[in-house]
Amino acid sequence: MKLYEYTMAPNPRRVRIFLAEKGVEIDTVQVDIPSGENLAAEFRAINPRSLLPTLVLDDGTVIDESVAICRYIEELHPEPPLMGTDARSKAVIESAQRHMEWDGLLSVAEAFRNANPAFRDRGISGSEGVPAIEALVDRGRASTLRFFAALNDTLGESEYVAGDTFSIADITAFCVVDFAKWIQIRAGDEHPHLNRWYAEVKARPSAQA
Amino acid sequence: MKLYEYTMAPNPRRVRIFLAEKGVEIDTVQVDIPSGENLAAEFRAINPRSLLPTLVLDDGTVIDESVAICRYIEELHPEPPLMGTDARSKAVIESAQRHMEWDGLLSVAEAFRNANPAFRDRGISGSEGVPAIEALVDRGRASTLRFFAALNDTLGESEYVAGDTFSIADITAFCVVDFAKWIQIRAGDEHPHLNRWYAEVKARPSAQA
């Protein structure tokens, strides 16, 4: 089993933190995204979508979505559970996890990617020849601010993002909040619940992964 | 248990097809998206993200993402399995399902939403005051064409989207292909594998759901 990843990018970090929480180690290979190593023929032969992280199983099966990689690990190593334990908790965590992706990760990525010269011709992850769109920088920033407010509200109602236990939804949220620093957006005094939660998650050993 | 949905929209359709495959019936409530009923206070009180479909359990738990709703049903009604049966198949199906969302659904939605006058101030699903961005119409169309080509390739290698069994990945793909008709993109002679698969999926009773 081999995990292709890039240390600096938020999606591979989600998987590294997940693995650290599980105490699972996988051999990794670094693929440099800014220089376009993920777009080169060598990596495209492994994953035609050119996205990281990508897990290749010993039988050659390719799993190339962070959450799908986490699902594989969760199934093989159920403890500690990070994706729920029964129908309700699995659905609630999956729902919350997706909020973090669609409302958070996508928003920050939109602002980051369309403002960064390295991606001026790579407006969509894994793509080439897709021009950046300047209007998405402001839209992404505004969406990120709304996301921070909503996340603060959520964390005012429960200890963790998907209720009273730490889950994959917290991992995604934590990586989004750190990713937002790249677009100069940080939690402030108006986000007391988010700040309380962030300090807790950052204190977990897995946050260093 | 109550399912808030809107018959015309692609995401609720994914859940309806999933339920039909499972033989599960849930009481539904229609919420009209084009007229903005999903943005009104009454529905926001149920789901602050204003998105459909939204499932409300008898204990008041709100699950508001299509795939999370499907997960809940899959856990309660495992047969026939639509999300995998072991670590590998669960991960492969989840990965493929996400390809259909991020490469397909998001692309069509981008082109559709930013060209439709009803959404001129609702550039992001569930939002208000987010102006449409004209450049996203062309970008979304181009991404959709790439998606059709990639899906055709995938279906040239396997009977279904995620291998040799029908799964939730096929349901998402099928809804995306039909959704693309709204932006006047259809499979053609250059997509023989996609056409073969589409005819098969359309012949399933669940396609009428």
Q: Are B73 and B24 in contact (CB under 8 A)?
A: yes
Would you say residue A175 has pLDDT above 90? Answer: yes
* Angle (deg, nearest 10), helices B135-157 and B106-113: 150
Provide the pLDDT for residue B126. Answer: 83
Of B46, B82, B91, B71, give the one whose Cα is nearest residue A91. Answer: B71
CB contacts, 8 Å: B61 with chain A: 88, 92
Over residues B57-114, the pLDDT tens digits come to: 999 999 999 999 999 999 999 999 999 999 999 999 999 999 999 999 999 999 999 9
The C-alpha atoms of residue B109 and residue B127 are separated, in whole angstroms, by: 14
The C-alpha atoms of residue A207 and residue A174 are separated, in whole angstroms, by: 9
Distance, CA of B21 to chain centre: 15
Structure-token pair, residue B177: 């292909």
User: Residues near B58 by Cβ (< 8 Å), separated by ≥ 6?
Assistant: B1
**Does the distance separating the beta carbons of A49 and B99 come in below 8 Å?**
yes
Question: A23: left (phi > 0), else alpha (psi -120 to 50), else beta?
Answer: left
Average pLDDT over chain A reads: 96
Least confident of A126-130, A159-163, A199-203, B52-56: A126-130
Q: How does residue A139 score in pLDDT terms, banded at 50, 70 and 90?
A: very high
B188 to chain A, closest Cα gap in Å: 23
**Does the distance separating the beta carbons of B88 and A57 come in below 8 Å?**
yes
Over residues A29-83, the pLDDT tens digits come to: 999 998 889 999 999 999 999 999 999 999 999 999 999 999 999 999 999 999 9
Q: Number of C-alpha atoms within 13 angstroms, CB side, residue A36?
A: 12
Note if the pTM is more than 0.95.
yes
Provide the pLDDT for residue B65. Answer: 96
Q: What is the DSSP string of B114-150?
A: TT-GGGTTB-STT-SSB---THHHHHHHHHHHHHHHH
Instruction: Tell whether A75 is within 8 A of chain B (Cβ).
Output: yes
Torsions phi, psi of B181, nearest 5?
A: -60, -25
**Does the distance separating the beta carbons of B135 and A68 come in below 8 Å?**
no
Greatest Cα pair distance in chain B: 50
Describe chain A by its helix, strand, coil percentages, rounded to 5: 55, 10, 35
What b/e sequence results for B119-129 when a residue is b if at least 16 CB atoms lie within 10 Å of its CB, and e otherwise? beebbbbbbee
A180 to chain B, closest Cα gap in Å: 19
The C-alpha atoms of residue B198 and residue B15 are separated, in whole angstroms, by: 18
Q: Are B109 and B118 in contact (CB under 8 A)?
A: no
Query: CA B171, A82, B61: angle at the middle one, nearest 5?
Result: 65
Of A64, A81, A63, give the one whose Cα is nearest residue A166. Answer: A81
Q: How does residue B17 score in pLDDT terms, banded at 50, 70 and 90?
A: very high
Of A179, A198, A160, give the one whose Cα is nearest residue A14. Answer: A179
Provide the pLDDT for residue B128. Answer: 84
Over residues B145-180, the pLDDT tens digits come to: 999 999 999 999 999 999 999 999 999 999 999 999
Nearest to B63 among A65, A92, A135 (CB): A92
Residue A27: CB atoms within 10 A of its CB come to 7
**Does the distance separating the beta carbons of B130 and A88 come in below 8 Å?**
no
CB contacts, 8 Å: A98 with chain B: 65, 67-68
Place of tokens 């399912």: B3
Beta bridge partners, B71, equal none
Q: Are B65 and B53 in contact (CB under 8 A)?
A: no
Residue of B nearest to A51 (CA): B99
Provide the pLDDT for residue A93. Answer: 98
A34 vs A152: which has the higher pLDDT: A152
Torsions phi, psi of B81, nearest 5?
A: -65, 130
B35 to chain A, closest Cα gap in Å: 23
Over residues B31-67, the pLDDT tens digits come to: 999 888 999 999 999 999 999 999 999 999 999 999 9
B89 to chain A, closest Cα gap in Å: 9
**Does the distance separating the beta carbons of B150 and A65 come in below 8 Å?**
no
Please, where are the H alpha helices in chain A?
10-22, 41-44, 66-76, 87-99, 106-115, 135-157, 168-179, 192-202
Whole-angstrom Cα Rg for chain A: 17
Provide the pLDDT for residue A30. Answer: 97
Query: Alpha carbon of B175 to those of A208, B52, B123, B168: distances in Å?
Result: 40, 15, 21, 11
Q: Which amino acid does the sequence have at A73?
A: I
